[in-house]
Amino acid sequence: MRRFIVVGHQAVTTPDFGLDDLAGATGRLDVLLRCVNSAFMLSHGLREDTELHLALLGPPGPPTVLHFVGAELRHLNPDERSTAALVRKALARGKEGRSTPGIHVRYQDFHGLLQEFSETLVLLREDGQDLRRAELGLDPTFLLSDHRDFSREEAAAIQAVGPPVVAVGPRALHADHCIVLVHNELDRRRP
């Protein structure tokens, strides 16, 4: 199993957004939608061995976690717009549980997520140990931020868990690109 947690610091927690301005009025939900694509999309199929938690921390009702389960996912297409429609449906649910196949809504805060995956957590950060030489365990849970760095409080909470810090390369990349590189490394290790 491969897991990714991506924190959307301003990503909206309401379904009241249009599909025509995903990079504008949604608290950069577009960044997270691209992470969904990178986490699950193969050229011909979906990665069934992968799960993704999107932690939405924007207004009006944070925190909301959207949990994507690769083995259960249906109706997921490569484009951001149709994935945004699935996210909108999940946010419209208004209570915890499954919204569409493979997408589950949870009201869990960042600390709860950290605790749940503390045993397998790997922090992705550009100043970390080289991914190519990192010991990752069998079920790693990779933690990334969106377009913003983790807040001071979040960084302290992560430090308290003390995960290994791993870099996919020397340059600061977009979160979705990091996910692709992690998948590629794991594919090479365990095809």
Ligand X SMILES: C[S@@+](CC[C@H](N)C(=O)[O-])C[C@H]1O[C@@H](n2cnc3c(N)ncnc32)[C@H](O)[C@@H]1O
Interface residue with ligand X, options 124, 140, 141, 163 (CB under 6 A): 124
Q: Does 174 bind ligand X (CB under 6 A)?
A: yes
Segment contacting ligand X by CB under 6 A, of 40-48, 83-91, 106-114, 163-171? 163-171
Interface residue with ligand X, options 74, 160, 172, 187 (CB under 6 A): 172
Which is nearer to ligand X, 9 or 67 (by Cβ)?
Answer: 9
Using CB under 6 A as the binding rule, the residues of this chain from 32 to 71 that contact ligand X are none
Interface residue with ligand X, options 115, 126, 129, 151 (CB under 6 A): 126
DSSP string, the chain: -EEEEEEETT---SS---SS-TTTTTSSHHHHHHHHHHHHEETTEE-TTEEEEEEE--SSS--EEEEEETTT--S--SSHHHHHHHHHHHHHT-SSEEEETTEEEE---HHHHHHHTTTTEEEEEEEEEEGGG----SS-EEEEE-SSPPPHHHHHHHHHH---EEESSSS---HHHHHHHHHHHHHHH--
Nearest approach in angstroms of CB 57 to ligand X is: 14
Segment contacting ligand X by CB under 6 A, of 13-21, 47-55, 56-64, 166-174? 166-174
Residues that bind ligand X (CB under 6 A): 124-126, 144-145, 147, 149, 167-169, 171-175, 178
